[in-house]
Chains A and B, each alone.
Chain A
Amino acid sequence: MSHFIDRRVNSKNKSTVNRQRFLKRYKSQLKRAVADAVNRRSITDVGAGEKVGIPSKDISEPVFHHGRGGTREVVHPGNKQFQKGDRVQRPESGEGGGSGQGKAGRGGIGEDDFVFELSRDEFMDLLFEDLELPNLVRNQLLGTTEFKTVRAGYSTTGAPSNIDVVRSLKGAIARRTALGAPYRSRVRELEAELAALLADGVAEDAAPVVALREEIDRIKTRIAALPFIDTFDLRYQSFTKQPEPTSKAVMLCIMDVSGSMDQVRKNLAKRFFILLYLFLQRNYDRIEVVFIRHHTIAQEVDEQEFFYSRETGGTVVSSALNLAYDVISERYGSDTWNIYAAQASDGDNWDSDSTICREILTTKLMPLMRYYAYVEITPRQHQSLWYAYQDVKAVHPHFAMEEISGAEDIFPVFRDLFRRQEA
Chain B
Amino acid sequence: MSNDKIISESSEWTFPLLKRFDREIGRIAHDEFGLDTYANQIEVITSEQMIDAYSSVGLPINYHHWSFGKQFVATEQTYRRGQMGLAYEIVINSDPCIAYLMEENTLPMQALVIAHASYGHNSFFKGNYLFRTWTSADAIIDYLVFARGYIAECEERYGCEEVELLLDSCHALMNYGVDRYKRPAPLSLAEEKKRQHEREAYLQSQVNDLWRTLPVRGTAETTSGERRYPEEPQENLLYFIEKNAPLLEPWQRELVRIVRKIGQYFYPQRQTQVMNEGWATFWHYTLLNRLYEQGYVGDGFMIELLQSHTNVVLQPSFDAPYYSGINPYALGFAMMRDIRRICEEPTDEDHYWFPDIAGEDWLKVLDFAMRNFKDESFIAQFLSPKLMREFHLFAVCDDDREETLEITAIHEESGYRQLRQAFADQYNLGSREPNIQVYDVDLRGDRSLTLRHYRYNRRPLAESVDEMLLHIRRLWGFDVRLESVDEQGRVQLIGEC
Select from chain B the residue with minimum beta-carbon distance to A25: B66
- Contact yes or no, A87 B406, CB < 8 A: yes
Q: Is A61 an interface residue (CB 8 A)?
A: yes
* Contact A85 to B317, CB < 8 A, known contacts A23-B69, A65-B434: no
What's the least CB distance linking A62 to chain B, in Å?
A: 4
Q: Is A331 an interface residue (CB 8 A)?
A: no
Leading 3 A-B pairs by shortest Cβ distance? A78-B317, A22-B69, A18-B69
Stretch at the interface among B213-221, B340-348, B451-459, B473-481: B451-459
CB-defined A-B contacts under 8 Å, sample of 10: A4-B44, A21-B69, A64-B464, A64-B465, A66-B462, A67-B462, A68-B462, A74-B426, A78-B391, A79-B393
Q: What's the Cα separation between A10 and B48 when bound, in Å? A: 11
Q: Is B197 an interface residue (CB 8 A)?
A: no
Contacts from B to A (Cβ < 8 Å): 15, 18-19, 22-23, 26, 39-46, 48-49, 51-52, 55-56, 64-70, 72-74, 76-77, 96, 100, 103, 118, 160, 164, 168, 171-172, 174-176, 315-320, 323-326, 391-400, 403-412, 414-415, 419, 422-423, 425-426, 432-434, 436, 455-465, 467-468, 471
Starting from the known contacts A70-B458, A76-B396, A96-B398, 11 additional A-B residue pairs (CB-CB under 8 Å) come to: A4-B43, A12-B48, A15-B56, A18-B68, A61-B67, A63-B175, A64-B468, A65-B464, A67-B460, A76-B394, A84-B407
- Contact yes or no, A7 B415, CB < 8 A: no
Stretch at the interface among A114-122, A164-172, A414-422: A114-122
Q: What's the Cα separation between A286 and B459 when bound, in Å? A: 65
- Contact yes or no, B458 A18, CB < 8 A: no
Q: Which residues of A contact B436 (CB under 8 A)?
A: 64
* Contact A22 to B66, CB < 8 A, known contacts A64-B465, A76-B396, A115-B77: yes
- Contact yes or no, A21 B56, CB < 8 A: no
* Contact A78 to B318, CB < 8 A, known contacts A71-B399, A73-B408, A95-B323: yes
- Contact yes or no, A18 B325, CB < 8 A: no
- Contact yes or no, B457 A72, CB < 8 A: yes
Q: Is A89 an interface residue (CB 8 A)?
A: yes
Q: Is A49 an interface residue (CB 8 A)?
A: no
Q: Which residues of A contact B164 (CB under 8 A)?
A: 21, 25
Q: Is A59 an interface residue (CB 8 A)?
A: yes
Q: Which residues of A contact B434 (CB under 8 A)?
A: 64-66
Stretch at the interface among A99-107, A184-192, A348-356: A99-107
What's the least CB distance linking A196 to chain B, in Å?
A: 50
Q: Which residues of A contact B460 (CB under 8 A)?
A: 66-70
* Interface hits, A1-45 → B, CB 8 Å: 1-8, 10, 12-15, 17-25
Q: Which residues of A contact B168 (CB under 8 A)?
A: 61
Q: Which residues of B contact A74 (CB under 8 A)?
A: 395-396, 398, 422, 426
What's the least CB distance linking B357 to chain A, in Å?
A: 23
* Contact A68 to B400, CB < 8 A, known contacts A2-B26, A21-B164: yes
Q: What's the Cα separation between A47 and B55 when bound, in Å? A: 28
What's the least CB distance linking B1 to chain A, in Å?
A: 29
- Contact yes or no, A76 B44, CB < 8 A: no
Q: What's the Cα separation between A68 and B315 when bound, in Å? A: 26
Q: A72 contacts which of B49, B175, B404, B459 (Cβ < 8 Å)?
A: B459
- Contact yes or no, A73 B397, CB < 8 A: yes
Q: Is A83 an interface residue (CB 8 A)?
A: yes
- Contact yes or no, A18 B459, CB < 8 A: no
- Contact yes or no, B315 A18, CB < 8 A: no
Q: Is A88 an interface residue (CB 8 A)?
A: yes
Q: Is A80 an interface residue (CB 8 A)?
A: yes
- Contact yes or no, B66 A117, CB < 8 A: no
* Contact A84 to B465, CB < 8 A, known contacts A20-B69, A76-B318: no
Select from chain B the residue with minimum beta-carbon distance to A67: B462
* Contact A70 to B72, CB < 8 A, known contacts A12-B52, A14-B56, A64-B433: no
Q: Is A380 an interface residue (CB 8 A)?
A: no
- Contact yes or no, B405 A97, CB < 8 A: yes
Which of B49, B396, B410 has the most C-beta atoms of chain A within 10 angstroms of its own C-beta?
B396
* Contact A90 to B405, CB < 8 A, known contacts A4-B44, A21-B64, A78-B316: yes
- Contact yes or no, B326 A77, CB < 8 A: yes
Q: What's the Cα separation between A101 and B399 when bound, in Å? A: 17
Q: Is A206 an interface residue (CB 8 A)?
A: no
- Contact yes or no, A62 B467, CB < 8 A: yes
- Contact yes or no, A73 B172, CB < 8 A: no
What's the least CB distance linking B319 to chain A, in Å?
A: 7
Q: Which residues of A contact B459 (CB under 8 A)?
A: 66-67, 69-72
Q: What's the Cα separation between A18 and B62 when bound, in Å? A: 10
* Contact A18 to B457, CB < 8 A, known contacts A7-B44, A73-B395: no
Q: What's the Cα separation between A39 and B44 when bound, in Å? A: 44
- Contact yes or no, B74 A15, CB < 8 A: no
- Contact yes or no, B44 A62, CB < 8 A: no
Q: What's the Cα separation between A118 and B40 when bound, in Å? A: 38
Q: B42 contacts which of A3, A64, A80 (Cβ < 8 Å)?
A: A3
Q: Which residues of A contact B41 (CB under 8 A)?
A: 2-3, 5
Q: What's the Cα separation between A66 and B463 when bound, in Å? A: 9
- Contact yes or no, B69 A4, CB < 8 A: no
Q: B410 contacts which of A20, A82, A97, A100 (Cβ < 8 Å)?
A: A82
What's the least CB distance linking A179 to chain B, in Å?
A: 45
Select from chain B the residue with minimum beta-carbon distance to A103: B462
Q: Is A86 an interface residue (CB 8 A)?
A: yes
Q: Which residues of B contact A89 (CB under 8 A)?
A: 404-405
Q: Which residues of B contact A199 (CB under 8 A)?
A: none
- Contact yes or no, B465 A15, CB < 8 A: no
Select from chain A the residue with minimum beta-carbon distance to B331: A77
- Contact yes or no, B393 A77, CB < 8 A: yes
What's the least CB distance linking B337 to chain A, in Å?
A: 16
* Contact A64 to B461, CB < 8 A, known contacts A73-B397, A84-B407: yes
Q: Which residues of B contact A3 (CB under 8 A)?
A: 39-42, 96
- Contact yes or no, B324 A102, CB < 8 A: yes
- Contact yes or no, A88 B398, CB < 8 A: no
* Contact A79 to B410, CB < 8 A, known contacts A8-B49, A67-B463, A96-B396: yes
- Contact yes or no, A96 B405, CB < 8 A: yes
Q: B43 contacts which of A5, A73, A107 (Cβ < 8 Å)?
A: A5
Q: Which residues of A contact B74 (CB under 8 A)?
A: 114, 116
Which of B318, B432, B455, B457 has the most C-beta atoms of chain A within 10 angstroms of its own C-beta?
B318
Q: What's the Cα separation between A101 and B164 when bound, in Å? A: 29
Select from chain A the residue with minimum beta-carbon distance to B73: A116
Q: Which residues of A contact B100 (CB under 8 A)?
A: 7
Q: Is A152 an interface residue (CB 8 A)?
A: no
Q: What's the Cα separation between A107 and B175 when bound, in Å? A: 22
- Contact yes or no, A90 B66, CB < 8 A: no
Which of B69, B160, B168 has the most C-beta atoms of chain A within 10 angstroms of its own C-beta?
B69
Q: Which residues of B contact A69 (CB under 8 A)?
A: 400, 458-460
What's the least CB distance linking B429 to chain A, in Å?
A: 12
- Contact yes or no, B172 A63, CB < 8 A: yes
Q: Which residues of A contact B51 (CB under 8 A)?
A: 15
What's the least CB distance linking A76 to chain B, in Å?
A: 4
Q: Which residues of A contact B467 (CB under 8 A)?
A: 62
Q: What's the Cα separation between A96 and B410 when bound, in Å? A: 14
Which of A8, A25, A64, A72 has the most C-beta atoms of chain B within 10 angstroms of its own C-beta?
A64
Q: What's the Cα separation between A24 and B324 when bound, in Å? A: 35
Q: What's the Cα separation between A84 and B64 when bound, in Å? A: 52
* Contact A75 to B397, CB < 8 A, known contacts A69-B459, A85-B407: no
Q: Which residues of B contact A76 (CB under 8 A)?
A: 317-318, 326, 393-394, 396
What's the least CB distance linking A155 to chain B, in Å?
A: 38
- Contact yes or no, A75 B44, CB < 8 A: no
Q: What's the Cα separation between A19 and B77 when bound, in Å? A: 13
Q: Which residues of A contact B398 (CB under 8 A)?
A: 71-74, 90, 96-97
